[in-house]
């Protein structure tokens, strides 16, 4: 299904474009405080950049960039980052996901701590969405008889 | 039977279009959802978010504040849904291959 493409234009263009898609995805995640965007959108674009290489270079070569087993692990880590932020706030004395208590460990005011908490959560969502979308693609390929 | 299916589809489509005519127009300040005070005399949540989003979290994009701060539980649930979808793909599709391996 995803053998290496014979066309040099396809492989070259996807190789050049993929890092820029990743860069823009990171911009979407980290600039979500000021413009439309956030974890879900940025994570999807990160997954798109990884899947572009998988489609153009073939599944075997793409393993060098992003291992097959890494997807599920990254997805679990992303969800853990989200829950971990909530439980960390609980350990610091607040309610679950009440970010202003992050000011006790971060050198910022309580109001800015909420902004930082939003950023942590968005990063967690981005990692989870990226890992799981790639993992779903890889899992679907497992049924491929080739 | 196919004719009946199409008929039901068209009737429901017409019903949806007819019902959508009763919705308030976008940005209508007199609509119940957009008022400062809800019909039961309690302050409306959306108005509170719009007024206090920047003051509470110093984040200009109030959609982000609403999604990740005020409604953090909701986004947590969404992440869990995606996680569940990925894990189910993992369990269903990879286990199948393992059974085939044992047969060989």
**Number of structural domains chain A divides into:** 1
Q: Does residue A125 surpass a pLDDT of 80?
A: yes
Q: Does residue B14 surpass a pLDDT of 90?
A: yes
Nearest-CA neighbor of B60 among A39, A17, A36, A52? A36
Most confident of A6-10, A141-145, B16-20, B46-50: B16-20
Q: Is the ipTM of this complex over 0.95?
A: no
How much is the pLDDT for B99?
Answer: 56
Cβ–Cβ < 8 Å for A56, A15 = yes
Which chain A residues are closer than 8 Å to B94 by Cβ?
Answer: 139, 142
Residue range B42-64, pLDDT digits in tens: 888 888 888 888 998 888 999 99
Which chain A residues are closer than 8 Å to B64 by Cβ?
Answer: 32-33, 38, 118, 122
CB contact under 8 A, A40 and B72: no
B82 vs A33, A72, A132: nearest CB:
A132
Q: How many Cβ pairs closer than 8 A exist between chain A and B?
A: 101
Which chain A residues are closer than 8 Å to B59 by Cβ?
Answer: 33-34, 114-115, 118
Domain membership flag for residue A102: yes
* Residue B81 domain boundaries: 72-104
Domain membership flag for residue A20: yes
More confident residue, B7 or B33: B7
Nearest-CA neighbor of A117 among A126, A106, A127? A106
B56 vs A75, A111, A128: nearest CB:
A111
Domain membership flag for residue A1: no
Which chain B residues are closer than 8 Å to A122 by Cβ?
Answer: 64, 68
If contacts are CB pairs under 8 Å, which of residues 22-81 in chain A contact chain B?
Answer: 32-36, 38, 40, 71-72, 75-76, 78-79
CA distance linking residue A42 with residue A128, whole number of Å: 11
Residue range B63-75, pLDDT digits in tens: 999 998 899 999 9
**Number of structural domains chain B divides into:** 1
A118 vs B68, B85, B87: nearest CB:
B68
Q: Does residue B39 surpass a pLDDT of 80?
A: yes
CB contact under 8 A, A79 and B60: no
How much is the pLDDT for A51?
Answer: 93
Average pLDDT on A122-128 reads: 94
Domain membership flag for residue B54: no
- What's the predicted TM-score (pTM) here? 0.83
Residue range A25-54, pLDDT digits in tens: 999 999 988 998 888 999 999 999 999 998
A79 vs B61, B68, B79: nearest CB:
B79
Domain membership flag for residue B100: yes
Domain membership flag for residue A62: yes
Domain membership flag for residue A2: no
The string of DSSP codes covering A5-70 is: PS-HHHHHHHHHHHHHHHHHHHHHHHTTTTSS--HHHHHHHHHHHHHHHHHHH-HHHHTTTS-TTH
* Residue A109 domain boundaries: 8-142
How much is the pLDDT for A144?
Answer: 57
Q: Does residue B8 surpass a pLDDT of 90?
A: yes
Minimal C-alpha gap between A37 and chain B (Å): 8
Which chain A residues are closer than 8 Å to B82 by Cβ?
Answer: 75, 128-129, 132
User: CB within 8 A of B55, min separation 6: which ones?
Assistant: A111
């Amino acid at each position: 299904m995803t053998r290496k493409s014979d066309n040099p234009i396809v492989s070259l263009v996807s190789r050049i474009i993929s890092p820029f898609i990743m860069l823009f995805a990171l911009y979407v995640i980290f600039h979500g405080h000021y413009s439309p965007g956030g974890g879900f959108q940025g994570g999807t674009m990160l997954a798109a950049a990884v899947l572009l290489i998988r489609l153009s270079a073939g599944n075997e070569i793409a393993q060098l960039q992003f291992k097959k087993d890494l997807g599920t692990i990254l997805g679990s880590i992303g969800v853990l980052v989200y829950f971990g932020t909530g439980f960390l706030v609980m350990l610091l004395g607040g309610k679950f996901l009440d970010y202003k208590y992050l000011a006790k460990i971060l050198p910022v005011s309580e109001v800015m701590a909420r902004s930082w908490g939003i950023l942590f959560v968005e990063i967690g969502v981005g990692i989870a969405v990226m890992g799981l979308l790639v993992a779903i693609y890889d899992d679907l390929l497992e049924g491929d008889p080739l | 039977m196919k004719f009946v299916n199409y008929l039901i589809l068209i009737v429901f489509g017409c019903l949806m279009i007819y019902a959508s005519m009763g919705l308030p127009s976008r940005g209508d300040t007199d609509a119940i959802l957009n008022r400062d005070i809800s019909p039961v005399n309690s302050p409306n949540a959306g108005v509170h978010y719009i007024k206090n989003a920047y003051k509470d979290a110093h984040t200009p994009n109030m959609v982000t504040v609403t999604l990740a701060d005020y409604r953090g539980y909701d986004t947590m649930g969404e992440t869990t849904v995606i996680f569940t979808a990925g894990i189910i793909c993992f369990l269903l599709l990879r286990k199948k291959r393992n059974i085939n391996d044992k047969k060989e």
